[in-house]
Amino acid sequence: MRKLVFIFVMLCMFSCSDYIDKPKNLIEPEKMAEILADLAITDQAVIIYQNKNLEEGTRFVLKTHQVKAENFVESFKYYVAKDKMKDIAEDAQKIVLKKDPKADKYIQDKLKNSGNIPVLNR
C-alpha cells in the first residue's frame, strides 16, 4: 500500500511541472530586456514630473517596440513563473548602463555611501 501511495504522489508531482503555459505571442528575452530598460528609464520621470500621469510613457515604450500591453504582461508572467526574469533584468540593467554611462558611477557612489547592496547584486 505504501508503494502505491508513493507512486501516486510521484506521478502527481511530475505531471504538474508547468505552472503556466507558454503564451502564443511570447516576447523574446532580448527584446524583453530592451523593453524593461526603456521602462526603467521612463519611470525615472516620476522624480522630475511628480503628480503627473505617466501612463503615456509606458504606452509610448510599448508602441516603440511594437508590443501590445497584453503580450507584455503575459510574457512577464511567463518569465517570472519560469524563473528567467532575473537574467532578463540583469540584461536590462546592462542596457541601461550602456545607454547612460553616468548611471554606473552614480550607482557605485550610492553603494559606497550607503553600504547597502541591492538584492539582485548579492
Q: Any residues with CB less than 8 A from the CB of 19 and at least 6 apart, and which?
A: 81, 82
Cα–Cα distance measured from residue 34 to residue 40, given in angstroms and rounded to the nearest whole number: 10
Domain membership of residue 63 (yes or no) is yes
This prediction has a pTM of: 0.71
Amino acid at 2: R
- Higher-pLDDT residue of 75 and 10 is 75
Range of the domain at 98: 23-108
User: Mean pLDDT throughout 29-35?
Assistant: 95
Query: Using 50, 70 and 90 to split pLDDT, how confident is the model at 28?
Result: very high
**Segment 49-68, tens digit of pLDDT:** 777 777 888 888 999 999 99
Domain membership of residue 18 (yes or no) is no
User: Mean pLDDT throughout 35-40?
Assistant: 91
Query: How far from each other are the two terminal CA atoms of the chain, in whole angstroms?
Result: 47
Mean pLDDT (the chain) is: 80
Domain membership of residue 2 (yes or no) is no
Domain membership of residue 73 (yes or no) is yes
Query: Domains in the chain: how many in total?
Result: 1
Closest CA to 43 of 70, 25, 61: 61
Residue 12 has pLDDT above 60, yes or no: no
Instruction: Identify the pLDDT of residue 122.
Output: 43
Domain membership of residue 37 (yes or no) is yes
Domain membership of residue 39 (yes or no) is yes
Domain membership of residue 14 (yes or no) is no
Closest CA to 60 of 72, 33, 42: 42
